[in-house]
Amino acid sequence: MKDVAIIGIGMLKWGELWEKSIRDLCVEAALNCIEDAGVDHIDSMAIGSMSSGLFTGQEHLASMIPDYLGQRYLPAVRVESACASGGLAVRNAFLEVASGMSEIALAVGVEKMTDVNGGMATYALATAADQDFEAFHGVTFPGLYAMLARAHMQHYGTTREQLAQVAVKNHANGTRNPNAQFPFAVTREQVINSVLVADPLTLLDCSPITDGAAAVLLAPVEVAHRLGRHPLTVITGIGHATDSIALVDRPDMLHLGAVAHAAQRALAMAGKTIQDVDFAEVHDCFTIAEIMVMEAMGVVPPGQGGPATLDGMTALDGSFPINPSGGLKSKGHPVGATGVAQLCEAVMQLRGTAGERQINNARTALTQNMGGSGGSSVVHIVEVQ
């Protein structure tokens, strides 16, 4: 396989973007990405979107998005793996370039979630859970993650303050991100005392409903060298894994097996260990998710994610910063776009262009994108060379 570099990134400010359609979001992110790369053509496109049909009534994005980007007849595909759809789109674009099928491949992630009411958004998101054994019985994703949080607290002694600190830390990072949906600080007391959603999780433990898109442009390393516009950032490892969709079918509901396997595969491909990673963007759809993800990837042993967070290990100036972008919690979570946006943040950090949230001497990044309650996961390792 060819070595693959990220030659361009494209973002826009996320939020409740009433004036923009799903095609507008995709095209804006893609054009920003193409301009950043300085190229005059693309050869293929992968579009990550979880549920555009339910959120906007628009399927067949693989036809619509290239057309409105001015790229009619381009080979394009839409991919779906719930909230891991964006990460999977990047993986597909990587395979296009690594195999030689495409020289320049565009990965775009998008979701337009605010055009429906809260009930419909909850229904659309619940399609990523087991319909027969979870959703049919009224268990939504806040309920599933609340069960994980309660079990984690009972088994490991994780505290409510430790959960809340995930939100505090990520919102603090989000105040430094101009593209974040909710760029404001919160305190542990505000998180704990906000409206209860599903015990023990409150509103400020939960990621929001978001409109947004993000894009990355991939090419062989020799093309990146020829362009010479940015420091060379290379995807050196990718891991992808799935697990049982229903929590009840997992041997240990407190172990995110898909995350562990995806991380192991990505690190092995890159020839790295988790100790070689300088920072990570992970899937904090709920505060408990970030804690369980860092444990599954081996950042800390099982049960130590909460104490490590409270002690500052995962803060911007900690020994293993997590979610310098603000994460899903503050930056927002347009479900199909999140995995691509994680790569955008990784590249900004590795280029040294992340502004006030810049991590010192960042050389190796990990991004972890997850679908459902851990039913699928995609991990990328990116290095500056």
Q: What percentage of the chain reaches a pLDDT higher than 70?
A: 100
pLDDT of residue 8: 98
Q: What is the CATH number of the domain that holds 89?
A: 3.40.47.10
Residue 275 belongs to a domain: yes
Same structural domain, 95 and 136: no
Domain that holds residue 273: 128-206+236-384
Same domain, 289 and 193: yes
Residues taking part in catalysis? 83, 333
Q: pLDDT grade, residue 6 (50/70/90)?
A: very high
Q: Which region among 84-98, 130-144, 254-268, 334-348 has the lowest average model confidence (pLDDT)?
A: 130-144
Residues 217 and 247 in one domain: no
Give the chain's radius of gyration (CA, Å): 19
Of 182, 198, 227, which residue sits at a domain end? Answer: 227
Strand order in 376-384's β-sheet?
76-79, 44-48, 105-112, 211-220, 4-10, 233-242, 376-384, 364-371, 279-281
Q: Global pTM?
A: 0.97
**298, part of any domain:** yes
What distance lies between CA 274 and its chain's CA centroid?
A: 18
Position 151 in a domain: yes
- In this prediction, residue 46 has a pLDDT band, given cuts at 50, 70 and 90, of very high
Q: Are strands 201-202 and 211-220 parallel, antiparallel or unpaired?
A: unpaired
Extract the tokens encoding 245: 């969709």
Q: Are residues 288 and 346 in the same domain?
A: yes
122 in a structural domain: no
Indicate the SS3 state at residue 43.
Answer: coil
The whole-angstrom separation of Cα 260 and Cα 282 is: 13
Q: Is residue 146 part of a domain?
A: yes
In a shared domain, residues 213 and 315 = no
Question: Angle 237-240-245 (CA atoms, 0-180°, nearest 5)?
Answer: 160
| 149 and 276, same domain (yes or no) | yes
Q: Residue 17: what pLDDT?
A: 98
Instruction: Give the end of a domain, one of 194, 227, 260.
Output: 227
Are residues 278 and 133 both part of a single domain? Answer: yes
144 lies in the same domain as 49: no
SS3 212: strand
- Where among 180, 198, 227 does a domain terminate? 227
What's the confidence (pLDDT) of residue 322?
98
In this prediction, residue 91 carries a pLDDT of: 98
Interval 345-360 mean pLDDT: 98
Q: Is 382 helix (H, G, I), strand (E, B) or coil?
A: strand
pLDDT 10s digits, 99-135: 999 999 999 999 999 999 999 999 999 999 999 999 9
Whether 182 and 274 share a structural domain: yes
Number of domains comprising the chain: 2
Q: How many residues does the chain have?
A: 385
pLDDT at 241: 98
pLDDT (0 to 100) of residue 295: 98
Predicted local confidence at residue 350, as pLDDT: 98
Core vs surface per residue 102-128: b (16+ CB within 10 A) or e: bbbbbbbbbbbbbbbeeeebeebbbeb
The β-bridge partners of 142 are: none
What local confidence, expressed as pLDDT, does residue 16 receive?
Answer: 97
Residues 190-246: tens digit of each pLDDT: 999 999 999 999 999 999 999 999 999 999 999 999 999 999 999 999 999 999 999
Mark whether 271 and 364 lie in a shared domain.
Answer: yes
* Residues 157 and 29 placed together within one structural domain of the fold: no
Distance of alpha carbon 186 from its chain centroid, rounded?
22
Q: Is 123 inside a domain boundary?
A: no
Section 367-373 average pLDDT: 98
- Mark whether 279 and 368 lie in a shared domain: yes
